[in-house]
Amino acid sequence: MTLPPVVHTQVFTGEVSLHVALAGPEDGPPVVLLHGFPECWWGWHHQIGPLVDAGFRVIVPDQRGYGQSDKPRRTRDYAMPHLLGDVVGLLDALHIDRVNLVCHDWGGAVGWTLALTHPERLRRFVPMNMPHPGVFLRELRHRRQWKRSLYIAAFQVPFLPERQLLARDCQPLVSALFGNTVHKPFTEDDLRVYREAWTRPGAIRGMLAWYRAAVRHRPAPPPHRTFDGPAMLIWGRRDKALGFPMVAPSAERLTDGRLEVIDDAGHFVQHDRPDRVNELLVDFLTG
């Protein structure tokens, strides 16, 4: 899939400077794509072209701690209020009042928080393979999800996870990508981009700080329980990290939403089935 012309820039959000990839017409309706662990802006390269072809202005940041964005040293700087502030600050810096938001994994956690905290900033909302935060916390009480999430506890150990994830040319991170997909879609070009991002100074520490801050600096519940704007939850059914019992309850928190389950996809659904994901995105966002 050919990537359209992309402009790379740095945007100061109020606390940090984020590397942002921009594509598509400047006057097109804006859509922000938020990646998760262990990706970077490149995690959306399958989606950028189809969205540009549909007339959108596509905005894809490296979130704080990732890629070419700033990487604060303190764990507390990765608590959810700061991550949320980055997105709000990005929209403000780009003079965007309301945006179409597409988000995956940890980007989905930030996206859900934005939808439940500042719903007035969203036109349409598309989380992928990330449940509603309240549903996730409730499900963690069950052994079935607790066992899937043991890696989060392992990430709390200082220093050692950083060394382990970078070992053998980042093989544990590569295995995490391939291990939670059905069609094994990642190419050598993809892995080259990811390895370059992972091995930047401070990157692995920053990426893990998201997990550490989530445990040590838990945020207050968002002010709204549901998002009432147009929304679509996309879920790869064969996700090994996030259990399927969370899907229906999360979809119920989208009062004007729809659920699209892709049976032959894992956690990295936008890589596993880019054709289907792109079809759903263009149809929904232009609807």
Residues acting as catalytic residues: 105, 211, 267
Q: Mapped to the 3 state alphabet, what secondary structure does 140-152 carry?
A: CCCHHHHHHCHHH
Tell me the one-letter amino acid at 88.
V
SS3 of 7, please?
strand
Task: List 103's β-bridge partners, or say none.
Answer: 34, 127
Burial 10-49 (b: 16+ CB within 10 A, else e): ebebeebebbbbbbbeeeebbbbbbbbbbbbbbbbbbbbb
C-alpha span between 72 and 217 (Å, rounded): 15
C-alpha span between 157 and 139 (Å, rounded): 23
**Residue that is written with structure tokens 């894809």 in the block:** 60
Instruction: Determine contact, residues 253/281, Cβ cutoff 8 Å.
Output: no
Q: Which run of H or of E encompasses 254?
A: strand 254-262
SS3 of 60, please?
strand
Task: Write the Ramachandran bin of 126: left for phi over 0, alpha for psi from -120 to 50, otherwise beta.
Answer: beta
C-alpha span between 39 and 124 (Å, rounded): 23
CA neighbor of 3 nearest in space, from 41, 36, 39:
41
